[in-house]
Amino acid sequence: MSDIKQLEDSIDESRKLVELKNAALKLSSNREFKKIILDGYFKDEAVRLAEVSAIANPNVDRNEVFLAIQAISLLKQYLQSIVRVGEMAEEDIYTNGEALDDARAEDAA
């Protein structure tokens, strides 16, 4: 595969990651998503589960509570990583765009 084709493919892939980042940011600004997920799940449910885990109750499976808390953390990390990767992809688009311009100029010469 030529350098030009590799750079074009890399830019296309980076654009997809930026689109995903933009979708995640748009989602996070949605009022309903904020109410249900950002506030309701990431905050309120996490606090509720922490309180449940602190109560000595034989009817509560602490392992299930831990897994529920872990699920909250994993979803939050997933959404944050989409944004981080998208931000890096934006930088890659710029860098690879310059490299693509250089490669095309060399190829034309």
Average confidence score pLDDT of the chain: 94
User: What are the pLDDT digits (tens) for 31-63?
Assistant: 999 999 999 999 999 999 999 998 888 888 989
CA distances to 32, 44, 50, 76, 97 from 56, in Å: 34, 20, 12, 28, 59
Instruction: Tell me if 13 sits within 8 A of 86, measured CB to CB.
Output: no
Q: What pTM value is reported for the model? A: 0.84
Of 17-26, 27-36, 56-65, the poorest mean pLDDT is in: 56-65
pLDDT tens for residues 84-102? Answer: 999 999 999 999 999 999 9
**Which long-range contacts (C-beta less than 8 Å, at least 24 apart) are formed by 43-51?**
45/72, 46/72
- CA atoms of 96 and 89, how far apart (whole Å): 10
Residue 23: strand, helix, or coil:
helix
What pLDDT score does 13 carry?
A: 98
Sign of CA dihedral 33, 35, 36, 37: positive
Say what percent of the chain tops pLDDT 90: 82
